Amino acid sequence: MATRGSQQVPPPRPLRLVRKLGTTAAVTISAHGITRNELLEVEKTYRNGSTYKFLENRFNAPKYNFVSDLQGMAPEIRDKYVAATGFEIVIDTAFLQSGSASTILDQLAQLQPIVRLVRYLNVKIEVLASSPFMNSIETFKDCSVRLSLLQVVDKVRSFKGLKRMTVILDLPEHCKEWSHAYVLPFYELETFKHWQVRTQRHGTTNLKEVLTKDIDCMDRKHADFCKEMRRLEQEEAERIQAAQEKLNNVVFTRVSTFKK
């Protein structure tokens, strides 16, 4: 008796990448590592010819390593993916208070070969519940918040292909106002000047535009800061010059070893 040959079912077919709900970027770089916030939509075909689509969590940590995955891609596929994907750098309060973002910088260093290809970047900053560091320009100059953010700004200079960059201030639940000090360090980013500022409540993904009056206020504060820094630098230069002139005018007298 003849038997029907078994019909071979094709393997699931990947269709597209879908960003996870509750995320603001496809790839997150933080002190905790590099996370890919994407699901793979897959189509499965059954023996009767019907199909079923589902989302596969293929990029779930700790098994998945984003850097290794990039290294294993064909160059043209990798470059195309990076250019079309949104990245975000998340700076938490622990680093803002410590004045060092070394762990975040270490994560960014792993991506150094491809950051020049990134076109879309968010820098999300977890705003401290209290912000006393903007009381004066002098205190702001050496505060941990500014020093930490300047380190990140320096790394962002390597993102040569940026087309859009957003600084996102992640506000605590009961925060009624935020300090401009979180934004001022980004004025030092000379390689990309068309960045924008947004705010959001912690735990949400809805971004809120910053009012024009707040942007004008930030511009004025940055101008005041630059003016004060130039004044302090001038004072320091004058102090050094005065000390040098005083040293040059000193008359050294040597007492003779012969007594009369």
In this structure, is residue 175 part of a structural domain? yes
pLDDT of 84: 96
Task: Give residue 65's domain range.
Answer: 13-248
Q: What is the pLDDT of residues 145-197, one digit of tens each?
A: 888 899 999 999 999 999 999 999 998 877 766 677 889 999 999 999 999 99
| Axis crossing angle, helix 102-110 with helix 144-156, rounded to the nearest 10 | 10
Q: What is the pLDDT of residues 31-68, one digit of tens each?
A: 889 999 999 999 888 888 888 888 889 898 678 999 99
pLDDT of 1: 46
| Alpha-carbon gap, residue 216 to 212, rounded angstroms | 6
In this structure, is residue 4 part of a structural domain? no
Give the list of residues 6+ apart from residue 27 with CB closer than 8 angstroms, or none.
Answer: 34, 35, 36, 37, 66, 85, 86, 87, 88
In this structure, is residue 1 part of a structural domain? no
Name the more confident of 99 and 34: 34
Total number of domains constituting the chain: 1
Name the more confident of 242 and 58: 58
In this structure, is residue 222 part of a structural domain? yes
In this structure, is residue 186 part of a structural domain? yes
Give the list of residues 6+ apart from residue 161 with CB closer than 8 angstroms, or none.
Answer: 83, 116, 117, 118, 119
In this structure, is residue 172 part of a structural domain? yes
Dihedral sign computed on CA atoms, order 28, 32, 36, 38: negative
Tokens of 4: 């029907």
In this structure, is residue 205 part of a structural domain? yes
In this structure, is residue 20 part of a structural domain? yes
